[in-house]
């Protein structure tokens, strides 16, 4: 047998799903079972992405390292076997329940959990412990959509699907930087627009984000005024006689009161324009396009949901679709883009504290039905604490024990410092996660090693209700176990043996499917979520399950692309509800003390709290540090300069970040990304600042609107260290870790002087290498210090310190640590480390713009200049930038424009 044949035999192909956003892209993974090597490409057959992946999805194989994993259970800091860990958790839970009752226990889950994991967690807490104190980080993400759907449709139903991208003629993106947060959907819309010149795109967002790249119209609405804007639209359509009166009459109720409220709120375009701080002609154009276009699709995301009026915003969007009958038809309807890969699955199993399982609520008949199905006498009979309430109850000592699964609330919750303190004081904190350190895991008494994406097996549901299989690529590493197994084992050890005797994930899926169809035949209270056709699915069929949109029933065996196609809704009358709503400003407004508004959001190449994406060096290069975007006028007012540091403070917390001056947001508003944690930055946790105000109905926090102040940070020195080995940098005000290819890069700055850098560095490197030799340049007058240390001839670390923030480019210094490099540094490279300028002929690529092909800003600008390029396509041809996932094309366009502006060509 030749080597080639041998290689063929050990490479298997596994079809799975991306674990990042709610687009739910299909992945084809090639797995070398001998070496564990994995190659990830898009699944051409998956209907969510047809082979496309964004920069995050296509980097998944680079995040599978074991060195950062939690691989053994730990009890109070000591590694233990599973039996000990599980018994400790079960015994403590039972003891606290005996002492204080079931509400003393809480679970906090995540949209990263698979449906099977989520189902078991919800069953244990609500069905057997007897409390509904289980909520999830999806509360921070899309609970306003759930509330808006239920209020309007009677059920948490997403009516439309991704196929509508290609069929729509007007796509409205509301509060959604789709280009960065749902990149593959964005690319699909972009392609649809290229193929259909009639398709118009409107972006409604206070910021001019990369999504505006494809916008025919950008409406820079004032933060929090979406209700006024959509009430204005409803009012306009009414006045223009552009409503579908027949649909309203036959399929809805409550229209009269609602249109009166809308007219009171937003009588004419001028009133709305004033409220939303938008030019009237922009608004009028949007309203006219909406009136004239039957095939209108509204996509919305966190800008709508994360608001103290999130539920009303969702309702206002839905009202316009109902009033025009644009729902349940191809190319029409509202479609919420969920943030997480399985936010929808969590909703299906009742992962939110106010829901039971299978889209049931805490109505007496639902409680009774689920109780019978689960054969439990101890089912919760009222909703539990939602996320902010839950951590408040931990802080108050009412909740004595909490189990946090696959999420990092110490970073992501609003008022995150309070959450941290609450967990520090909590009697018993259990965290199950796949990585060894997160800000939350570091506070746990019990650490349980859960399987990561590459080792997990089960199902997830994406934004368009499509259930896809996530399949394990690799065997479980160390002692890691699937979440469902861990939860079921704890349940059994707590004494709930019968309900949790699962041998495999397919058994859980069958039960979940059975419950969805269980007594789901009451015409007055039909439930939308029904996958009863899969109730007896065989293991083989489960393993081969193809991506399918629910409902999946005997009547709809192929699944269901669109719902409400018959104009029937899940209310007792089968009519959709209009609800009179009126615009309310955000709860906390800026004032003299806190004059600016903090807006928050995601970046293109990072995911949540960076536990996975930060492991892939190429994903860290686009935006390596936490930053604040601020307009030039505000920067001038507050004495801030591009590239320097600024301290932002709210009534709840502080952060220290790099200043980026931009005109892409309105004056008075600043923007910070949500991703950085204490693992990667000393003061970059934005959650510490965010106000804990919540929507009164959905209980979703207002993460897009926190009053803050900002001031320049007075650093005595700035610098960076690039080291072959990790360092611990205590006592420095500003540190940021950026993992590179073969090196650890730290940005540093402080207001305090640090003496004897060489001594500190030598200490840090001593566990790895003893014999260090140094080359140093020091100019005491200019306060410049540059040093490089070597072990034999191998470069170990480089440190550059300066009184200002203009420092040498990091890219070429990082490239000297390339793990594939075998020869020692040349003389000109050693000299370059002292001068801070790259050796002659070394390309300085600048900030990475294209993460897929690692193409930097300077490379793109040179290509534009040298080749006199005028289009992103030409840039792609010249240097490959933008030719894979396409997420960087908006930035390439910006570079083209800036070049044209500078040269005047």
Question: Residue 713's closest CA among 749, 763, 765?
Answer: 749
To the nearest whole angstrom, how small is the minimum distance from the Cβ of residue 876 to ligand SF4? 19
Q: Which residues inside 650-669 make contact with ligand SF4, applying CB under 6 A?
A: none
DSSP 667: T
Burial class (CB in 10 A: 0-12, 13-18, 19+), 769: middle
Nearer to ligand SF4, 25 or 875 (CB): 25
Q: Is it true that the peptide bond before 551 is cis, omega within 30 degrees of 0?
A: yes
Q: Map residues 476-515 to x or -, x wherever contact with ligand SF4 holds by CB under 6 A.
A: ----------------------------------------
DSSP 677: -
427's tokens: 């009697």
Contacts of 568 (CB under 8 A, 6+ apart): 251, 574
Secondary element (H or E) of residue 899: helix 889-903
To the nearest whole angstrom, how small is the minimum distance from the Cβ of residue 20 to ligand SF4? 3
Place of tokens 């609800």: 579
Interface with ligand SF4, residue 20, by CB under 6 A: yes
3-state SS class at 21: coil
Q: Per CB under 6 A, which region of 15-23, 106-114, 343-351, 722-730 contacts ligand SF4?
A: 15-23
Q: Buried b / exposed e across 190-214, counting CB within 10 Å, b at 16+?
A: bebbeeeeebbbbbbbbbbbbbbbb
Interface with ligand SF4, residue 141, by CB under 6 A: no
DSSP 480: -
To the nearest whole angstrom, how small is the minimum distance from the Cβ of residue 637 to ligand SF4? 37
Q: Which residues inside 54-93 make contact with ligand SF4, applying CB under 6 A?
A: 54, 56-57
Interface with ligand SF4, residue 337, by CB under 6 A: no
To the nearest whole angstrom, how small is the minimum distance from the Cβ of residue 21 to ligand SF4? 3
Q: Map residues 163-192 to x or -, x wherever contact with ligand SF4 holds by CB under 6 A.
A: -------------------xxx--------
354's tokens: 């106010």
Strand 717-723 with 654-661, pairing: unpaired
* CA–centroid distance for 447 within its chain: 24
Residue from 15, 16, 23, 349 that binds ligand SF4 (CB under 6 A)?
23
Nearer to ligand SF4, 54 or 129 (CB): 54
To the nearest whole angstrom, how small is the minimum distance from the Cβ of residue 61 to ligand SF4? 13
* Contact of 72 with 449, CB cutoff 8 Å: yes
Interface with ligand SF4, residue 29, by CB under 6 A: no
Q: Per CB under 6 A, which region of 50-58, 265-273, 349-357, 660-668 contacts ligand SF4?
A: 50-58
To the nearest whole angstrom, how small is the minimum distance from the Cβ of residue 151 to ligand SF4? 28
Nearer to ligand SF4, 55 or 144 (CB): 55
* CA–centroid distance for 475 within its chain: 27
Interface with ligand SF4, residue 25, by CB under 6 A: yes
Interface with ligand SF4, residue 21, by CB under 6 A: yes
Q: Per CB under 6 A, which region of 22-30, 67-75, 138-146, 570-578 contacts ligand SF4?
A: 22-30
Interface with ligand SF4, residue 339, by CB under 6 A: no
Q: Per CB under 6 A, which region of 21-29, 81-89, 790-798, 866-874 contacts ligand SF4?
A: 21-29
Nearer to ligand SF4, 309 or 613 (CB): 613
Beta strands in 406-487 (DSSP E): 428-433, 446-449, 458-461, 466-470
**For the residues of 576-604, what is the DSSP string, one character each?**
EEP--------SS---SSS-EEEEEE--S
Nearer to ligand SF4, 59 or 571 (CB): 59
To the nearest whole angstrom, how small is the minimum distance from the Cβ of residue 167 to ligand SF4? 20
To the nearest whole angstrom, how small is the minimum distance from the Cβ of residue 48 to ligand SF4? 7
Interface with ligand SF4, residue 24, by CB under 6 A: yes
Total H helices, total E strands in the chain = 30, 34
**For the residues of 346-388, what is the DSSP string, one character each?**
HHHHT-STT--STT--S-HHHHHHHHHHHT-S----S----HH
Residue from 40, 53, 173, 875 that binds ligand SF4 (CB under 6 A)?
53
* Contact of 182 with 301, CB cutoff 8 Å: yes
- Residue 659 to residues 157, 484, 640, 648, 703, Cα–Cα distance (Å): 41, 44, 7, 11, 21
Q: Per CB under 6 A, which region of 51-59, 108-116, 205-213, 372-380 contacts ligand SF4?
A: 51-59
* Contact of 679 with 439, CB cutoff 8 Å: yes
Rg over alpha carbons for the chain, rounded to the nearest Å, is 27
Nearer to ligand SF4, 184 or 404 (CB): 184
To the nearest whole angstrom, how small is the minimum distance from the Cβ of residue 27 to ligand SF4? 8
To the nearest whole angstrom, how small is the minimum distance from the Cβ of residue 24 to ligand SF4? 6
Contacts of 252 (CB under 8 A, 6+ apart): 322, 323, 575, 576, 577, 578
Nearer to ligand SF4, 21 or 799 (CB): 21
Question: Residue 647's closest CA among 518, 749, 508, 792?
Answer: 749
Nearer to ligand SF4, 26 or 707 (CB): 26
Nearer to ligand SF4, 114 or 282 (CB): 114
Nearer to ligand SF4, 54 or 610 (CB): 54
- Please identify the residue of the shown chain whose CB is closest to the bound ligand SF4: 57
To the nearest whole angstrom, how small is the minimum distance from the Cβ of residue 673 to ligand SF4? 16
How many binding residues for ligand SF4 (CB under 6 A)?
14
* CA–centroid distance for 905 within its chain: 40
Other beta carbons within 10 angstroms of residue 753's beta carbon come to 8
Q: Which parts of 68-181 fold into alpha helices (H)?
A: 82-100, 115-122, 143-153, 163-167, 178-181
To the nearest whole angstrom, how small is the minimum distance from the Cβ of residue 480 to ligand SF4? 22
3-state SS class at 184: helix
To the nearest whole angstrom, how small is the minimum distance from the Cβ of residue 78 to ligand SF4? 37
To the nearest whole angstrom, how small is the minimum distance from the Cβ of residue 127 to ligand SF4? 31
Interface with ligand SF4, residue 628, by CB under 6 A: no
Nearer to ligand SF4, 18 or 670 (CB): 18
Q: Which residue ranges make up the site for ligand SF4 (CB under 6 A)?
A: 18, 20-21, 23-25, 49, 53-54, 56-57, 182-184
């Amino acid at each position: 047998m030749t080597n080639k044949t041998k290689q063929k035999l050990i490479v298997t192909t596994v079809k799975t799903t991306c674990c990042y956003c709610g687009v739910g892209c299909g992945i084809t993974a090639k797995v070398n079972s001998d070496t564990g090597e994995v190659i990830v490409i898009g699944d051409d057959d998956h209907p969510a992405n047809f082979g496309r992946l964004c920069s995050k999805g296509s980097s998944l194989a680079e995040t599978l390292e074991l060195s950062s994993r939690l691989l053994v259970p730990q009890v109070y800091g000591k590694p233990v076997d599973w039996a000990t860990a599980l018994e400790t958790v079960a015994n403590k839970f039972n003891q606290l329940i005996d002492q204080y009752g079931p509400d003393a226990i809480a679970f906090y889950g995540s949209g990263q959990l698979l449906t099977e994991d989520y189902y078991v967690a919800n069953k244990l807490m609500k069905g057997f412990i007897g409390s509904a104190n289980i909520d999830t980080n999806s509360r921070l993400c899309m609970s306003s959509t759930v509330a808006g759907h239920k209020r309007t449709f009677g059920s948490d139903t997403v009516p439309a699907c991704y196929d509508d991208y290609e069929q729509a003629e007007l796509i409205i993106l509301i509060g959604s930087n789709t280009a960065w947060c749902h990149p593959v959907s964005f690319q699909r819309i972009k392609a649809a627009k290229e193929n259909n010149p009639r398709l118009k795109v409107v972006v409604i967002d206070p910021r001019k984000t990369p999504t505006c790249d494809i916008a025919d119209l950008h409406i820079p609405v004032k933060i929090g005024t979406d209700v006024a804007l959509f009430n204005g639209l409803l009012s306009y359509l009414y006045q223009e006689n552009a409503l579908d009166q027949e649909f309203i009459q036959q399929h809805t109720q409550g229209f009269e009161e609602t249109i009166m409220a809308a007219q009171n709120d937003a009588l004419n375009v001028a009133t709305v324009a004033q409220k939303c701080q938008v030019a009237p002609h922009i608004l009028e154009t949007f309203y006219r396009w909406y009136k004239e276009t039957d095939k209108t699709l509204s996509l919305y995301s966190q800008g709508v949901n994360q608001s103290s009026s999130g539920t009303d915003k969702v309702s206002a969007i839905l009202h316009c679709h109902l009033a025009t009958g644009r729902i349940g038809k191809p190319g029409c309807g509202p479609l919420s883009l969920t943030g997480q890969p399985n936010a929808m699955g969590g909703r299906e199993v009742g992962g939110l504290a106010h829901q039971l399982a299978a889209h049931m609520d805490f109505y007496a008949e639902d409680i009774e039905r689920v109780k019978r199905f689960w054969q439990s006498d101890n089912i919760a009979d009222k909703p539990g604490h939602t996320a902010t309430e839950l951590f408040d109850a931990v802080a108050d000592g009412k909740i004595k024990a909490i189990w946090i699964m696959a999420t990092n609330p110490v970073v992501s919750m609003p008022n995150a410092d309070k959450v941290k303190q609450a967990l520090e004081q909590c009697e018993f904190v259990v965290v199950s996660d796949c990585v060894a350190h997160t800000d939350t895991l570091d506070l746990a008494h019990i650490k349980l090693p859960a399987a990561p994406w590459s080792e997990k097996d089960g199902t997830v549901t994406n934004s368009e209700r499509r259930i896809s299989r996530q399949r394990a690529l690799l065997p479980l590493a160390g002692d890691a176990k699937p979440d469902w197994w861990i939860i079921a084992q704890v349940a059994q050890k707590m004494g709930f043996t019968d309900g949790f005797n699962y041998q495999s994930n397919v058994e859980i899926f069958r039960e979940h499917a059975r419950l969805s169809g269980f007594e789901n035949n009451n015409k007055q209270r039909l439930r939308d979520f029904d996958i009863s056709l899969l109730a007896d699915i065989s293991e083989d069929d489960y393993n081969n399950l193809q991506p399918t949109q629910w409902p999946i029933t005997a009547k709809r065996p192929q699944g269901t692309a669109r719902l409400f196609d018959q104009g029937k809704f899940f209310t007792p009358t089968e009519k959709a509800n209009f609800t009179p709503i009126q615009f309310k400003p955000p709860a906390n407004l800026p004032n003299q003390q806190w004059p600016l508004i903090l807006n928050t959001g995601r970046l293109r190449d990072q995911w949540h709290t960076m536990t996975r994406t930060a492991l892939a060096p190429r994903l860290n290069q686009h935006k390596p540090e936490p930053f604040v975007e601020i307009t030039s006028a505000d920067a001038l007012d507050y004495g801030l300069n591009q590239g320097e540091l600024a301290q932002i403070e709210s009534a709840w917390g502080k952060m220290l970040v790099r200043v980026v001056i931009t005109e892409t947001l309105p004056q008075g508003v600043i923007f910070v990304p949500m991703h950085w944690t204490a693992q990667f930055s000393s003061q970059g946790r934005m959650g510490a600042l965010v106000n804990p105000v919540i929507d009164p109905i959905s209980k979703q926090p207002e993460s897009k609107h926190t009053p803050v102040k900002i001031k320049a940070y007075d650093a005595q020195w700035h610098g960076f260290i690039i080291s072959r080995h990790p360092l611990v940098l205590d006592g420095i005000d500003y540190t940021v870790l950026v993992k590179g290819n073969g090196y650890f890069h730290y940005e540093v700055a402080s207001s305090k002087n640090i003496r004897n850098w060489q001594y500190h560095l030598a200490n840090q490197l001593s566990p790895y290498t003893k014999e260090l030799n140094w080359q140093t340049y020091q100019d005491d007058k200019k306060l410049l210090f540059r040093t490089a240390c070597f072990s034999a001839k191998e470069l170990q670390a480089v440190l550059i310190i300066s009184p200002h923030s203009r420092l040498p480019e990091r890219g070429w210094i990082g490239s000297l640590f390339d793990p594939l490099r075998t020869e020692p540094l040349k003389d000109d490279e050693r000299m370059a480390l002292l001068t801070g300028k790259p050796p002659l002929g070394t390309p300085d690529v600048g900030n990475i713009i294209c993460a897929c092909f690692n193409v930097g800003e300077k490379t793109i600008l040179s290509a534009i200049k040298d080749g006199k390029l005028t289009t992103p396509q030409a840039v792609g041809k010249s240097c490959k930038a933008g030719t894979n996932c396409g997420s960087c094309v908006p930035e390439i366009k910006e570079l083209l424009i800036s070049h044209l502006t500078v040269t005047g060509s």
